Amino acid sequence: MKVKVTRRLMALLLSTILAFTLFGCGSSSPSTPDTAPEDTEGEKEATDVDADTTDTIKIGYLNKTMAIQWSQDVVDALEQLGKEQNFELVYADADFSPEAQLEQLNTFINNDVDGIICMVADEGMASAVVETANEAGIPVVGESLRMEDENDLLITPCVELDAAKCGAMNMDWVSENWESTGVDLSDETQIGFIQIIDSQLANEIVRGEGAYNEFKVLFPNVPEKNCFIADIAADSAELSEAAYNQVSTIFSANTAITTWVLCGVMEDYALGACRAIEDIGYVDSAILTSIGGERAIQEWEGGTKAPWYCANYYTGMDAAKLCADGLLQIVRDGKIEEEIWPEYIDDGETYASAKFSGTIITYDNYKDIVK
């Protein structure tokens, strides 16, 4: 009958669209989304799984969002480490949705992963992730965001940026080098300080405090009322724009202060702050520092040195190396979560929080440090 035929044709058409999209979808590497032979990609996947070699370990990376450079760097680094240390990587993007991350976790468990690295989509759901994974016998290592219970104690080993130290390192550089920048910090009572953070993220609060505390030690005569926090949590715009808004507001509310030291705990915030400094005309009287160096490098490539003088540079590989190392200790060497990285277990904690910190790069030396 004609009706049935047309119906079947529609079904076939729809399926073809789906199939086309499927094979049109690139490989797993985010840096090369258009990799050619998709069919062999699919077959390669199947062969890998079918190979059933007990030596090849599969690690799953659950990420809060792949839309930031950091996550892509971590994935690239993990894939490289995977080749060197003989493990296979699968990863998934939760796109800020806790529900999606739980689904992806279940899919990974079902897909025979041996260990999971997780940047949790929502800090409150950490216990759900760890419990679900551990029930299936799979260890979890947290990446960048601490996985804690309601008492703020770690529930599994985590890898994080040494937040306080990074901020402090920036201030150390400022204290030692401000004379060479041309900005006059000799009269401390005239200096203003801004830390730019997102108060919703515990890690960023610590970064900001690290910078602030070190700043107070190095510049003891700066009045308390000259120190501010630009909080992007209060702003619904995206990261850089929110930072721009918050910093501009602080500048406008305190026109008596024209000499500033700033620390953006994420480079996107520093970017917004940089624009704010330029727009208000404080380029020659402000020193901007950041945690995270990629954006700073982009500014320096353009030839401008001021006002973004230094950045604490760390890479996805720093984090990836630690994550992979910790996970492989559990999965390959047979250790349990409580045993890894004993040097990083703080008082009152059961699990370790392995820390990495970066190096300070500036306009003058970044070419030597960054490959």
Which residue ranges make up the site for other proteins (CB under 8 A)?
3, 7-8, 10-15, 17-19, 21-22, 24-30, 33, 42, 45-46, 49-50, 66, 90-93, 95-99, 102-104, 106-107, 110-112, 122-125, 127-128, 131, 149-150, 200, 233
Residue with tokens 């609060």: 205
CA distances from 72 to 38, 69, 161, 297 (A): 21, 5, 17, 18
Q: Write the single-letter amino acid at 88.
A: E
Nearest approach in angstroms of CB 101 to other proteins is 9
Nearest approach in angstroms of CB 131 to other proteins is 8
129 and 120 in contact (C-beta within 8 Å)? yes
Largest alpha-carbon pair distance within the chain?
A: 91
- Residue among 308, 316, 293, 288 at smallest CA distance from 366: 293
CB closer to other proteins, 151 vs 186: 151
What is the rounded CA–CA span in Å between residue 108 and residue 136? Answer: 11
What is the rounded CA–CA span in Å between residue 278 and residue 271? Answer: 11
CB closer to other proteins, 39 vs 368: 39
Nearest approach in angstroms of CB 107 to other proteins is 5
CB closer to other proteins, 149 vs 187: 149
Instruction: Give the contacts of 290 (CB within 8 A, at least 6 positions apart).
Output: 170, 263, 264, 265, 266, 267, 269, 270, 296, 308, 311, 312
Nearest approach in angstroms of CB 321 to other proteins is 22
> How, if at all, do strands 115-118 and 87-93 pair?
unpaired
Nearest approach in angstroms of CB 95 to other proteins is 7
CB closer to other proteins, 39 vs 84: 39
Nearest approach in angstroms of CB 14 to other proteins is 5
What is residue 293's DSSP assignment? -
CB closer to other proteins, 40 vs 221: 40
